Every structure is written in C-alpha cells, then in structure tokens.
Structure 1
C-alpha cells in the first residue's frame, strides 16, 4: 500500500484507504487482570480449569474491548463481583512465545473488598475451580513465572503510587 494524500472532499476514498491500512496492521492480544485484597491484606488468586497454575482474576479482552472493561466483565462472569478500579498498576509487553504472538497484559488496582464480599466470594462458572485469598509470599509460590513477575511489580507499583511499564516482566521505564 502506497500512501497518497487524501482528497478531503472524498471521505469514501479516505475511509477505504484507512480500512486497507487497518487490515494490514498488527493486532495485539490483550489480557487484563486485577489486584484485589481482603481486609487483612491478602491478595485474591483464582485457579483456572483451562490451564495449569493459579492466576490473578481477569482474562482476555474481546474484540475492541478496553482492558478495564475486560476486568469488570471477567470479575462479574467468573466471581459475580463488581468493583471500582482505582488505577493502573502494570502494563507488560509480552514477547511471542510458543504458538502465541505478542501480547499486552494489564494489571489494575481493585482495592480492598469488605469482609462480607471476601467471605462470600466463590467461582460462578466452570472456568475457575477455586478462589482464595493468600499472602503475597504464598501468591508468588502459586503463580507461574510470567504472572509472578508481573504480580511482584504490581505490588511495587502500588507501593510507589505509580504504574510500571514492563517488557517481558522487566521494568523499562
């Protein structure tokens, strides 16, 4: 595709030019998770049925879905939980691995659930076998390597009061 100057009066031609470019540009997979705590400071982990290991609550974005909406949707579908997100903790660019292309992975700050919410939390669909509040140390032992690194940096971002940008789990900025 060779760029040409659009004729401002010809919006159909301009839109066709943009559509061609859009069709050829890379698409990114997007994952969005949330860091939630109970009143004693433990973090919420979930045990997915479709992959090994524990994870933070969240999941993969649907087409054209903003990451923060992904977290809200996944929490409602899987745990019946509504939360107000308090900010962004981590954006991690994940390099291609195995059969997967690259991905952008977000972790949002979900705050602290009250005792009643935390006590009643149970998986609501067949994608999760368990949900548990664990200490940060227990979480690092349960999480797989990629998620563990992202989780540890999310805790650092929370303490620092500013989000971190990661490249394959390592801070760059």
Structure 2
C-alpha cells in the first residue's frame, strides 16, 4: 500500500486538516504576564494574592490565545481597576517545569510611574487580591518568592539597561 501524500495548499480543506492535526500535537505553553509599576518615590507595586502564598507583581495568566500585553492590561483592570499604557517589554523568562506545572513563558512589562493620585487610590477590586502596596526594591526582594524575585531583579536590570532581558528560570542568558 502506498502512503498518502502530504496535502498541499492547492487543496485548502485537506491542507487545513493536515495543519490542524500538526497543531494539536505541538506543545502548549502557559503564559504569565506581569507589570512593573512605580510611584513618584520610585517604589514598586506589589500585590498579595489570596490563591497562593507570598506577594507578587500585578498581572496574571493569559487566557487562551490572548497576547501577553493584553493579559496584563486585563488583569490590572479586573484586580485593581487600573488602566495603564505599557511602555515596553522588560523580561521574558522561560520557567522550567516544576511541581505539577509544565513549563511556561513569563513576561514583565514596564508600566511606568503612576501619578500620586492614582497611587493613593489603588485598592484590590476583586477576591483574588487581599492587599496592594508600594514598597522599595529592597523590601520587594524580601516579600517576593525566589522565582518571582529573580524575575523582578531582571526587570530592574532591564529598566536600567534600557533593553529587555531573556531569562531562563530567572537567570539571564543573553
């Protein structure tokens, strides 16, 4: 028996079925998107999630087929009622599988500096956060869990350098 030929774009229905089959077999990545937001005193915004231990940067997980920058904007509105203009990408971190989790891509975007009125009015808006606080970078280092702390430190370096960093499990590779 002769093997079937690979479909070509000349037969759009067969071609799309062939591509869909290949797509279904490829790995899916979880995507997290956070933001580095500062106040006029150069403190950084941290949030205290109710669904996991420790403090975190504002943001969260992208939904299916949602771009990371849209995910972080959506999360800011849902959790803090905050609309920001992102100023660029600071970090992409490939996070290795750990515990029950597969690998993921974690992004940190630069959210710039909030004016004092915005910073003063900031409060959690849903049940996912118990607190939001502006803290110094040093204090953030104590509050953040190790994995996010390394990513946060990378974001600060990227901000100072004026260019994004690629990390692997929080460690710069380039």
TM-score category, normalised to shorter length: over 0.9
Secondary structure of the corresponding residue to residue 9 of structure 2: coil
Matches within 5 A, 1:14-93: 14-93=15-94
Q: Distance in 1 between matches of 2:43 and 2:30?
A: 29
Secondary structure of the corresponding residue to residue 42 of structure 2: coil
Cα pair distance change 1:137/1:3, threshold 3 Å: farther
Q: Distance in 1 between matches of 2:170 and 2:128?
A: 25
When the two chains are superposed, the root-mean-square deviation of aligned CA atoms in Å is 1.2
Secondary structure of the corresponding residue to residue 97 of structure 1: coil
Unaligned runs of 5+ in 2: none
Residue 172 (1) aligns with residue 173 (2):
yes
Number of residues paired by the alignment? 172
Q: Distance in 2 between matches of 1:17 and 1:49?
A: 43
Shift of 1:8: 2.8
Once the two structures are superposed, what CA deviation does each residue of 1:60-110 show, in whole Å capped at 9, x if it has no partner?
A: 000000000000000000000000000000000000000000000000000
Unaligned runs of 5+ in 1: none
Shift of 1:5: 4.3
2:149 — aligned with what?
148
Secondary structure of the corresponding residue to residue 99 of structure 2: coil
Shift of 1:9: 2.0
Secondary structure of the corresponding residue to residue 18 of structure 2: helix
1:7 — aligned with what?
8
Question: TM-score normalized by structure 1?
Answer: 0.97
The runs of 4+ residues in structure 1 deviating greater than 3 Å are: 2-6
Once the two structures are superposed, what CA deviation does each residue of 1:25-49 show, in whole Å capped at 9, x if it has no partner?
A: 0000000000000011000000000
Question: TM-score normalized by structure 2?
Answer: 0.97
Cα pair distance change 1:132/1:15, threshold 3 Å: same
Q: Distance in 2 between matches of 1:118 and 1:81?
A: 10
Q: Distance in 2 between matches of 1:36 and 1:5?
A: 50
Once the two structures are superposed, what CA deviation does each residue of 1:101-131 show, in whole Å capped at 9, x if it has no partner?
A: 0000000000000000000000000000000
